[in-house]
C-alpha cells in the first residue's frame, strides 16, 4: 500500500517539481550553487557531503507529502550555510551589496505556492486587500 501511495505522490508532483523547487527560495538558490562550486574547487568533500545529505533529507519528504514549496522550505539551513561560505569567499562588503540586490530582484518575482499539480499565486499585500 505504501509503494502505491509513494508512486501516486511522485506522479502528482513530478510536473511542477522544478517550479516548486525554484519558488521555495527563488533566486536565493544561487547561494548553494556558488557554495557548491567553492567547496568543489577547494575539494572540501566533507562540506559538499553535508549539503548533499541535508538536501536528500529534505527531498525525501516528497515521497510521502506533496506540497512541494512548503517542504522544500525546510532546506533553509542549506541557504544559510551557503551564505556563510559565500560571505567568507567574497568578503562582507561585497556580500552585503550583492545580497541586497538579490533581495530587491527577488521582490520582483511573483510568489507562488506549488503543491501536487497546482500553482497558487500569492498577491502582494496592497493588492490582496479586497475592499471593493
**Number of other CB atoms surrounding residue 74 within 10 Å:** 14
Q: What is the pLDDT of residue 95?
A: 97
How would residue 5 be classed by pLDDT, with cut points 50, 70 and 90?
Answer: confident
Domain ranges of the chain: 2-128
**Is the separation of the CB atoms in 95 and 86 below 8 Å?**
yes
What local confidence, expressed as pLDDT, does residue 127 receive?
60
Average pLDDT of every residue of the chain: 89
Residue with cell 506522479: 11
* Residue 42 CB neighbour total at 10 angstroms: 12
Q: Which of 84-93, 100-109, 117-126 bottoms out in mean pLDDT, i.e. has the lowest?
A: 117-126
pLDDT at res. 12: 85
Question: Is 78 buried (19+), middle (13-18) or exposed (0-12) by CB count in 10 A?
Answer: buried
Whether residue 124 is predicted with pLDDT greater than 80 in this model: the reply is: no
Amino acid at each position: 500500500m505504501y509503494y502505491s501511495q509513494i508512486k501516486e505522490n511522485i506522479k502528482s508532483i513530478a510536473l511542477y517539481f522544478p517550479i516548486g523547487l525554484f519558488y521555495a527560495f527563488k533566486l536565493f538558490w544561487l547561494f548553494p550553487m556558488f557554495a557548491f562550486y567553492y567547496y568543489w574547487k577547494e575539494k572540501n568533500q566533507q562540506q559538499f557531503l553535508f549539503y548533499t545529505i541535508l538536501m536528500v533529507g529534505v527531498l525525501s519528504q516528497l515521497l510521502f507529502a506533496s506540497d512541494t514549496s512548503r517542504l522544500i522550505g525546510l532546506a533553509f539551513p542549506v541557504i544559510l550555510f551557503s551564505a556563510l561560505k559565500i560571505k567568507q569567499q567574497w568578503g562582507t562588503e561585497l556580500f552585503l551589496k550583492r545580497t541586497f540586490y538579490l533581495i530587491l530582484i527577488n521582490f520582483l518575482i511573483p510568489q507562488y505556492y506549488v503543491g501536487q499539480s497546482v500553482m497558487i499565486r500569492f498577491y502582494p499585500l496592497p493588492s490582496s486587500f479586497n475592499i471593493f
